[in-house]
């Protein structure tokens, strides 16, 4: 039976090579910085939709889930009501609840740390944490990614909101491509088998069909339906 080391919560975790931990931390911060810069686009989009700089900053500080924030400003910018925008944002944010359920076992946090950690449960922190082989590496990846995104995203939001009228559309600088590129890099190692590649291709097809037909953010949710054939197949096999 392999040795384990004890953490501050007296919870046994798998040992990890220090060099490996440094690599996980470095990769996580790199992903966080790349994704966080998309806050420039959100800040500019928020001001263009009629929000103040302070309102944009508050959304990033308190809501902190990019898809929900973009959904809100998208509805407002399109002339929709604040209620409709809020409902769209909540609908997209529900997925973080499922991330939290998965991360509860992977991270095994408790007490006040668990409550505070909920603020940085996002796509990128969940993906980086759940791809690690040990609990310690999962924790390092989760906190390094989540905190990096949080800090950079909030700073970028303020810069984008303040400079919206001076720097023009941040999308012209290619900032909007940072988040999807980073997330693609996260999932690429998982697309090794035929089933995984087929599921990924189906998800892409669903999203592409849904883009011109549904509001912003919804295609990503619909793409999750691509897992149904696999889930149903495994159920039948059982």
Per-residue pLDDT reduced to its tens digit, 143-194: 999 999 999 999 999 998 998 766 655 556 555 555 566 556 656 766 778 8
- The tokens for 229 are 């054939």
- The mean pLDDT value of the chain amounts to 80
- The tokens for 127 are 């993906």
Radius of gyration of the chain (CA): 19
| Alpha carbons 238 and 225: distance in angstroms, whole number | 21
Average pLDDT score over residue span 104-112: 85
Closest-CA residue to 135 (of 2, 5, 1) = 5
DSSP string, 148-209: HHHHHHHHHHHHHHHTHHHH--GGGGTGGGHHHHHHHHHHGGG--SHHHHHHHHHHHHHHHH
| Alpha carbons 93 and 96: distance in angstroms, whole number | 6
pLDDT band at 235 (very low <50, low <70, confident <90, very high): low
pLDDT of 106 reads: 83
Q: Are 223 and 200 in contact (CB under 8 A)?
A: no
Other CB atoms within a 10 A radius of the CB of residue 22 amount to 11
pLDDT band at 140 (very low <50, low <70, confident <90, very high): very high
Q: Can you give the residue ranges of every domain in the chain? A: 18-190, 192-238
Quote the DSSP letter at residue 120.
Answer: G
Is 0.85 topped by the overall pTM? no
Is 92 or 4 the better-scoring residue by pLDDT? Answer: 92
């Amino acid at each position: 039976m392999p040795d384990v080391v004890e953490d501050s919560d007296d919870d046994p975790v798998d040992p990890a090579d220090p060099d490996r931990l440094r690599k996980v931390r470095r990769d996580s911060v790199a992903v966080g910085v790349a994704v966080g810069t998309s806050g420039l686009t959100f800040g500019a989009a928020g001001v263009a939709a009629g929000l103040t700089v302070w309102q944009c900053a508050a959304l990033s500080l308190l809501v902190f889930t990019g898809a929900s924030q973009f959904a809100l400003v998208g509805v407002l910018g399109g002339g929709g009501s604040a209620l409709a925008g809020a409902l769209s944002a909540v609908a997209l944010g529900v997925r973080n609840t499922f991330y939290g359920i998965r991360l509860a076992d992977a991270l095994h946090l408790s007490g006040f740390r668990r409550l505070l950690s909920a603020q940085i449960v996002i796509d990128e922190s969940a993906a980086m944490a759940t791809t690690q082989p040990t609990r310690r590496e999962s924790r390092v990846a989760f906190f390094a990614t989540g905190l990096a995104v949080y800090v950079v995203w909030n700073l970028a939001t303020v810069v984008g909101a303040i400079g919206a009228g001076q720097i023009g559309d941040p999308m012209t600088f290619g900032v909007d491509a940072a988040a999807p590129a980073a997330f693609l890099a996260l999932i690429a190692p998982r697309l090794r088998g035929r089933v995984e590649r087929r599921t990924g291709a189906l998800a892409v097809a669903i999203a592409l069909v849904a883009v011109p037909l549904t509001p912003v953010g919804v295609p990503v949710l619909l793409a999750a339906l691509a897992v149904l054939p696999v889930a149903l197949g495994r159920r039948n096999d059982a």
